A and B are shown apart, each in its own frame.
Chain A
Amino acid sequence: MNESNDQEISPATEPKPSPFQVCHNKIQAIRSQIKKAVIGQDNVVDLALVSLLASGHLLIEGVPGLGKTLLVKSIAKAISGDFARIQFTPDLMPSDVTGHAFFDQNDSSFKIRKGPAFTNLLLADEINRAPAKTQASLLEVMQEQQITIEGTPHIIDKPFMVLATQNPLEQEGTYALPEAELDRFLLNATIEYPDASSEEAIVKMITEGHVGDSFATEQIEAVASTKDILAMQKVATKISVDDSLYSYAVRLVQASRQWPGIRAGAGPRATIALIRCAKALVLLRGGNFVTPDDIKQIATPVLRHRISLSAELEIEGVKVTNVIHDILEQVEAPRG
């Protein structure tokens, strides 16, 4: 991720480090731990951390084998959190995700068997391979952070973040995520192939002293706790945002609703997500106030999955990111 605007402005120096500075240091420590394992995917790592700090969920698009599972495992280990992975398949049932009640013959009572969703970090791999009913089973836990089994709501441990993946190439036998569910994801990141030098480093790291082709996360140290993450999430909400930036975020999202070539624009959740993510991004960078650059930078991952293009533009091969880029260029940026 571009760090163009964090070098000039630093928070006011104080004798005691400010909470922002403390958080920044901790996040940087987490970041550096994750980057030990996830090489050449700085952008996705940053977006995952932004999503974590903003208490949101991340939808990752990318072909298999680019380290998505490794990313989630690494984050979980760095923050001392739990991790679970569900491989979505066409025959996956909602109870396979959330859990279910069963009759225990030993004590003649119903017991709850909690599903993999009871965790801190949930990797929903190839989420679009499961039918809508199973995909919808994630809706409650994503939005309410609770799971209802047999009519009883169960609060899950916090922090909770879903990292869902989609394969953009294989569309056969998939169920496209409904817009309501897409809107639940705070950010949409695309994971690209690593560049040559990064790939070389990955190969060297995995083949030297390891058996098999998967990267072991032993060398990742737990540098924070889940409590720290919750504290940082609170600090992120205290990042200052000027009123003009709220207007700017609204203008951007409203422009997406009126823009020619967009069939369905983003909803108010997108505006909220813009500000939340911008705050988290600022915290990640060590600032203490949001600037228009932060909003612009986070706008593409926030809006990408919330915008549907018209058939004409899709036929012409125009990408959503191009349209968002046009919106960002043409919507008036604030001047304080």
Chain B
Amino acid sequence: MDLSKISIKLRPRNGYAAIDLGTRMAQKNWKSMFLSAVIFTLPLFALLIFLMPNHPIWAIFVVWWLKPLWERPLLLILSQDVFHQRPTLKEIILHGFKLLFKQLIPSITWRRFSPTRSFDAPVMQLENLSGSERRERLTALHSRSPSSISGMTIMMHLIESLMAFAIMLFILQFLPTDDIEWKIFLENLVTNSGLHLYYLLFAIGWYLAMVLMAPFYVAGGFSSYLNQRSIREAWDLELVFRQLAAKHKSRSFDYKNIIVSILVCSFIFITPKTYSADEQEIDLYAEQKSRVKAQIENIQSGPDYKRTETTTELRRINPLEPNSDEDESEEADESKSSSSSSLIGKEFGRVLSWLFLIALIVFILFKIPAMIEYFQSGARSKNEKLSNKKKPEQLFGLDLKLENLPDDIVQESKILWQQSQHREALGLLYRASLSKLIHQFDCEFEDGFTELECLIIVQQNQLSLSPYFSELTQAWRLLAYGHKLPSEQTFLTLADHWSNNFVPETSESNKQRGVDE
């Protein structure tokens, strides 16, 4: 590797500018980095899904936990690209597998939740430092590290989570399932009432989000690391010197020039001086010098040398510090504020990461009993949940709330019939039937359904009350649209049989019977 041939422009930047550089680096190498991430994770993810088909969340959790390991090949690609090297896929796989086992245990245990993980990775992976050396090195690098690194970690967490949900919902749009409503979906997800399809989709979404975002996270950390080295160790200058040295070294020794130089020098020393000519030359020289100086000043006052750059950053100002010493202590202040703000950011990030982990573990532990119960009880709970999803209170312009129905529907309808309110009497029976069918028999009716379409739904659900409902529907249609009054006997029969079919005590047995049939 030729360190003098660097592909990026190194100079001291602020933290977010360094991350921007990392983003550009990730964009440049995105294809190979993404491919590498997929190669190292997909077999594991697929294997875990295969082994635990009912627990896709566990599978993705394992892949997520092992992130520090499979991010290493990505850093390898970036570190080589910085010096114009493009490793082949084979090299990436070979080196990647060697890198996986480097400081394995610390990486996936106590260092796993470091908010500066991507920033610290090059120290271990590229500088090959471990133990106290690594610690000292990181202390040195962190001493003026900006809070942007922790901020980036938090942001990446958020983006990854959002992206996981977004991908999952995107996939859901293409599934030919029944309409998935947000409320139902979130309810199912949170209450864990089954539907491991959602969990599987969530796992796939999370996996894709991870492999899509990992190149940017690794590159952001790596560019911050390079930036920190430029600030602390003037690594950018070192590389410039290396380039200069390499340039001079590459030149062959020019004997001709040396000989010509010696000859010219000796000619100058041997030639006798003419003083009158010398005075004239001195005046000429002074004149030239002043002209050149003026030209230089003119050029330096031009726009090329007057570039101003405005940067905005947050700094803690110590109000007790006297203003007069501002200039002298500016550098010290900057150092202090920078290190303190980075320390705060880092601690904040660390606390957030741990809180996230704890919340995740608590959530999973809390959900385990429900998951076990679900997987033991099959899809029953799922069906129960789904059955509750559509309980319209008003359909076809009718109030179908159970609580708004009279206590004794049959008696009430008979009273109405006796009062010659025939339409209202039969209408009450029909409305009450619809209400019961919706709330107790889980029939799903749409606003646009006609009476016959409702009847078809009831028949499709194979409810034992469908013959009765068919008779009631016919009588109702004749009265409502044909204006033909059913005979009193027909009405009384319908009213008397209503209770047998719709009262709560018998409804469950009816339903069960219908299902059995």
Contacts and interface: CB of A to CB of B under 8 A. Distances in A.
Given A332-B397, A336-B423, A9 B448 contact: no
B388 interface: no
A98 B353 CA distance: 85
B416 to A, nearest CB: 15
Contacts of A242: 480-481, 483
A91 interface: no
B452 A4 contact: yes
Interface in B302-361: none
B474 A334 contact: no
A245 B481 contact: yes
B483 A289 contact: yes
A245 B423 CA distance: 16
A8 interface: yes
A331 B396 CA distance: 9
Interface residues on B, range: 20 to 34
B484 A12 contact: yes
Contacts of B477: 8-9, 291
Nearest to B454: A333
A312 interface: no
A25 B397 CA distance: 37
Nearest to B430: A335
A9 B483 contact: no
Task: From A8, A290, A296, A330, name the one whose CB has the most chain B CB atoms within 10 angstroms.
Answer: A8
A333 B450 contact: yes
A291 B481 contact: yes
A292 interface: yes
Given A240-B482, A291-B477, A333 B447 contact: yes
A293 interface: yes
Given A8-B474, A329-B446, A331-B447, A336 B481 contact: yes
Interface SS, A side: loop
Interface string A3-40: 01100110010000000000000000000000000000
A336 B476 contact: yes
B368 to A, nearest CB: 42
B47 interface: no
Nearest to A241: B481
Interface in B468-502: 470, 474, 476-484
A180 B476 CA distance: 40
Contacts of B476: 336
Given A8-B474, A336-B423, A336-B427, A331 B481 contact: no
A279 to B, nearest CB: 12
B397 A9 contact: no
A237 B388 CA distance: 46
Contact of B450 (A8, A240, A293): A293
Nearest to A288: B482
29 contacts: A4-B456, A9-B474, A9-B477, A9-B482, A240-B481, A240-B482, A240-B483, A242-B480, A242-B481, A291-B450, A291-B477, A291-B481, A292-B450, A293-B451, A293-B452, A293-B453, A329-B448, A330-B446, A331-B447, A333-B449, A333-B450, A333-B453, A334-B396, A334-B397, A335-B397, A335-B398, A335-B430, A335-B480, A336-B427
Interface of B: 395-398, 423, 427, 430-431, 446-453, 456, 470, 474, 476-484
